[in-house]
Each structure stands twice: as C-alpha cells, then as structure tokens.
Chain A
C-alpha cells in the first residue's frame, strides 16, 4: 500500500503530465454536471419565482416538499431512477440506463430542489419595492422579473454554486444509473470510489484535488461577485 505522500506525489504527476484516463474522467464529470445544471436552472428559477411572488393553492406544501427534498440521499435518487430506467421499469424502453443522459437526469433531480429552495429563499427575502418600483417605472411584468433577478443575483448565484457543488461531488446516483463505465460514464466521484476500493490511491487523490480546486474556484468567483455589489437601501 502506498504511503499518503507517495500517493500525493503520484497524483500530482498524473495531473501535470496530462494522464489521458484521468483527464477523460474529469471531462465527463464536468460535461455531465454542467449540462444538468444548465437544464435545471431556468425551470428551477421560474419555480422559485412563482413560489416567492404568486399565491396559489398548495404553495406552502410545495415549499415544504422542496425543502424536504434537499435532504434526499443521492443513492435514493439513484435507486429510484435505476428502477424507472431499467428494462422492467416504466421508462425501460428508452434504454437510458448506464448512459450519461441517465446521469444527467439523476443530477437534475438532485440539484433542482436546491436551486428552487435556495432561489425561493433569496427571492422571498428581496425587497418587494423592487418589483413595484420596476412596474411603476413602466417595466413590463417580464422586465420587472428580470430586474428582480438582477437585484437578487448574489443569492441566486449562491444557489447555483451550492447546487453545482452537490452534483459534481455526488457518487450514489451516478454510480447506480451511470454504471461507472470507463471513458463513458466514469466521473470523478465514482472513479475515486473505485480506485480507493482497488487500493490505488494516487488517482483518487488527484481527482480529489481537482474537486477541491473546483470548490475553491467557485467560492472565489462568488466572493468576487458579491464583493463588487453594494447594498441599496
């Protein structure tokens, strides 16, 4: 068994020499998670806005549902999706099991509640005068929505970062519906789980470093955006 320092040095070597297998895994992780969040974000934003700015029967129940969904384990989402997409499942004929599309669906299900719950909180906390001021200055309701989103951008960006952080690092769903197939559905978390179980720590550490660097980069970006803003009354 490698010592921690040996494994870490080996990990850095793999990263900086552009190890093909390692970088393919990183590439899959990013493309799958980016596609998932890009697909989920617009719908989640509309949902969050409706919950914050409109009244309809069942609204409170829906808010509670999304808040509860925040704590659903990824593996439960993976299991449910596995049963749905497997041959005998209701969507078995789509033949999506063990594909990147299945992983994307799983990650959408995981990030959607985070985007809605955090987005709703941010929008709910926004001053109601933003909406009214925009309307009274002649904005159409759609333009007023854009203005509210602009004024809430820090809270909404935080929701995006939190949701992306959750899905880029989740193992359960990707492992179950992706199948951890090399060069196809093996992403960073599933690769770390596999390499660790094989006792090969170098690649696991290298991938872990990439995840940590990503978290750091996202947080620096968020801090930088928030730092540029100033609070209006």
Chain B
C-alpha cells in the first residue's frame, strides 16, 4: 500500500451535474488526503473532465456539499468557490500557456499571491532547474514542443503547491521521454504532500505510486482494485529528492 496521510482534508459529497436535461454526474462522493495519487479512469464522455472542473471550482454542480478540514461548509456552492480555487489547481489536457516567456508563465500564479519579485525569481529558477527546464527560462512559450509545454504548465502549478492538483489526461499523445519526465514530476508532487488526481483512459500507469483507482461509468463512480503492474510500493520518505528522469535529457 502507498502511504498517504490518513486525515481527510477535503470531502465532496453527492455531486450531481446535468446539462441540457442530460445527467452527466450522479451522486458522486469523493474525499482527499494529503500525498494521495488518485487515478481516475473512464471512457470518453464518462464525465472525467467535468468532475475535475467541478473540483477546481470552474464549473458549478447542480448540487453538492463540501467538507473542508472536517467542517461542513454552508452557504451554497458559489459562496465556497474561493476555498476550492485556493486549494485546487486544474491542468487542461492541452494546457494553455500565456503569451510570454516560460518564466512569465511559471511566475503568473506567484505574482497573483503578491510574492516579492526577487523571491519569485528565486522560486521560479529553482523549480525550473529541478525539472530540467532551466534552459528554457527565457524562451517564448510559442516556441516550445508539446511535451515542454505540458511540463512548463505542470511546473507552473507545482510552484503554487496547491493541496490538490487535477491533471486531465496529462500523458496523452506524449512520446516516451516526455512521458517519463512528466511521471517523475507527478511523483515529486506527491512527495511534496500534494494530492493529485490524474485522469486517463489507460489504467496501467506503471511508474506512478497510485493510492486509489476510481472509475467513472456513465456518470457514476466505481472504486476499482489497483490494476496489476501498478507500483504499490510506499513513497520514499525523502521530500527533497531531486526529480530524476528515466528518459534521456533531450526531446
């Protein structure tokens, strides 16, 4: 078994969502502990992306209740959106990088937090170096490969150390070296006490320390046993381990 913290910091219950009279999600309940890596699988149109967008506070469900740090939040969904947006960060399947340099993109969220400019410089430089993206620091985002864009977007989310990171098919259409680098980064996030939800069509995510496997079928949640081949070994205790890549350094 993996070793996520046992304390549930966020629980969402009875999430229902429908659009144009069609039910997309029915009575979904989820709970999150720190350091958890949840694999969410499902066919196309099963509601994976919708669920992630609801968790990120980007979409309003028809009904749902939120428990945060053990307290049930009152006042309706919209009133508590701020808490979800502060705690969760969502990455699109094809992440959007703002028009600007890699540095500008990674610094975007830090600037929104009002962090001092020199501190932002240091944090961005450290994060880029730790993920072997330091050489792209001044590069315009329009000049990056799709694998580099995906990693820059992940670093942009990682530097904010959200409590929950929602990755929508992050490994789709990636070649082996890029995939390997992304997997290493996801493992690093987990070590940094970030809960990660990862959606995929493919339940085989061999290089990840998956804690739970959830499956969406026609808008309903099914808990699955971890598939064969999934790494069930405990997470390494070290939280400062540098990210290492199985693949080569060039893309």
Contacts and interface: CB of A to CB of B under 8 A. Distances in A.
Contact of A232 (B56, B92, B99): B99
B141 interface: yes
A232 B98 contact: yes
Contacts of A140: 112
Interface bin, chain A: 20 to 34
Contact of B160 (A134, A135, A138): A138
Interface string B93-104: 011111100000
Interface stretch (B15-23, B70-78, B82-90, B202-210): B82-90
A139 interface: yes
B134 interface: no
Contact of A233 (B53, B56, B97): B97
Interface string A119-151: 000000001011011111111100100010011
Contacts of B97: 232-233
Given A136-B90, A232-B142, A233-B149, A147 B56 contact: no
Interface residues of B, number: 29
A138 B113 contact: yes
Interface string A38-53: 0000000000000000
A146 to B, nearest CB: 11
A233 B94 contact: yes
A138 B92 contact: no
A88 interface: no
B92 A135 contact: no
B245 interface: no
B140 A230 contact: yes
Contacts of A129: 92, 94-96
A137 B157 contact: yes
A229 interface: yes
B57 interface: yes
A139 B112 contact: yes
Interface in B142-172: 142-143, 146, 149, 156-157, 160
A133 B96 contact: yes
Contact of B109 (A127, A132, A137, A232): A137
Nearest to A140: B112
A162 B129 CA distance: 45
B58 interface: yes
A157 to B, nearest CB: 14
A233 B96 contact: yes
B98 A136 contact: no
A147 B57 CA distance: 18
B108 interface: yes
B142 A231 contact: yes
Nearest to B108: A137
B201 to A, nearest CB: 21
A138 B87 CA distance: 9
Contacts of A134: 108
A139 B89 CA distance: 12
A135 B58 contact: yes
Nearest to A137: B109
Contact of B96 (A150, A229, A230, A232): A232
Contact of B92 (A132, A150, A229): A132
Contacts of A133: 92, 95-96, 98
Nearest to A154: B99
- Closest 8 A-B residue pairs measured CB to CB? A230-B142, A129-B96, A137-B109, A138-B112, A136-B90, A133-B96, A138-B109, A232-B97
23 contacts: A129-B92, A129-B96, A130-B96, A132-B58, A132-B90, A133-B95, A133-B98, A134-B108, A136-B88, A138-B112, A138-B113, A138-B160, A140-B112, A147-B98, A150-B98, A151-B98, A230-B140, A232-B96, A232-B97, A233-B94, A233-B97, A233-B146, A233-B149
Interface of A: 127, 129-130, 132-140, 143, 147, 150-151, 229-233
